[in-house]
A = this chain, B = another copy of it.
Amino acid sequence: MSADLETRLRALGARRYHNLHPFHRMLHAGECSKGQVQAWALNRYYYQSMVPLKDASLIGRCEDVALRREWRKRLEDHDGDDTRPGGIERWLRLTDGLGLDREMVVSTRMLLPATRFAVQAYLHFVRERSMLEAVASCLTELFSPQIISERMSGMLAHYDFITPDIMAYFDQRPPQAERDAQFALDWVTRHARTAEQQQRVVDTLAFKCDVLWSMLDALHYAYVTPGLIPPGAFVPDV
């Protein structure tokens, strides 16, 4: 029954993870302009910046000390500590390296509205749904080491404005994501015992794939085709 669940999750990811999105393919194949890469990094920053709030919200509802302790590693990875920059800080090196003003990035005022809504939907999901669904919502990490390695090699090969230095974020994420995804998969496998619970885990992964996919839809619409940037959103000058 539990092998079944993993098979179903992996099959869903193979159909719905955002590595299949046309914007992702463009980005990795070197077909984006610098402005399009900037728009991607700017909007994705908001997702990164909200991840610790999502994780702390889960911890803040969790009565299992072992699960809280395990989940705290995610806070450490994203927020860093006195000696080690976290994922958010490393993402800002990417936006810095792309020539975006850091104050503008951090203010999030030039996001696409759809980015904000999708990320907030994720945050509300983790705050409001069952603990099983809150944990399961991170299972897109099962597929992220692959997308990150595609991203690294593709972007470094194709864009002269991308250097290993500013891609530091992606160096450290794959082992963290792998550890976290494995933990979450084991946890949901142990806790989703009934068919109904297993269906909820699958539905959660579909929801989370939708979050990531819709962020790329919005980027594609605004910055590629038809290229209609919503009022107030970032306008590339390159």
- Residues on A lying within 8 angstroms of B by beta carbon are 49, 52-63, 65, 68-69, 72, 75-76, 79-82, 86, 88-89, 127
Contacts and interface: CB of A to CB of B under 8 A. Distances in A.
Given A52-B68, A57-B61, A69-B79, 7 more contacts: A57-B57, A59-B59, A59-B75, A60-B60, A60-B127, A68-B79, A72-B76
Please report whether the interface of chain A is mostly helix, strand, loop or mixed according to DSSP. helix
User: How many copies of the polypeptide does the oligomer hold?
Assistant: 2
Contacts of A63: 49, 53
A72 B75 contact: yes
A81 B69 contact: yes
Nearest to A123: B60
A47 to B, nearest CB: 14
A86 B65 CA distance: 10
A86 to B, nearest CB: 8
A-B residue pairs, 6 tightest by C-beta:
A57-B60, A56-B60, A56-B59, A56-B56, A60-B60, A69-B79
Contacts of A89: 65
Contact of A79 (B58, B65, B81): B65
6 contacts: A49-B63, A52-B65, A53-B63, A56-B58, A69-B81, A72-B79
Contacts of A62: 53, 56
Contacts of A49: 63
A125 to B, nearest CB: 13
Contacts of A81: 69
Contact of A59 (B53, B86, B127): B53
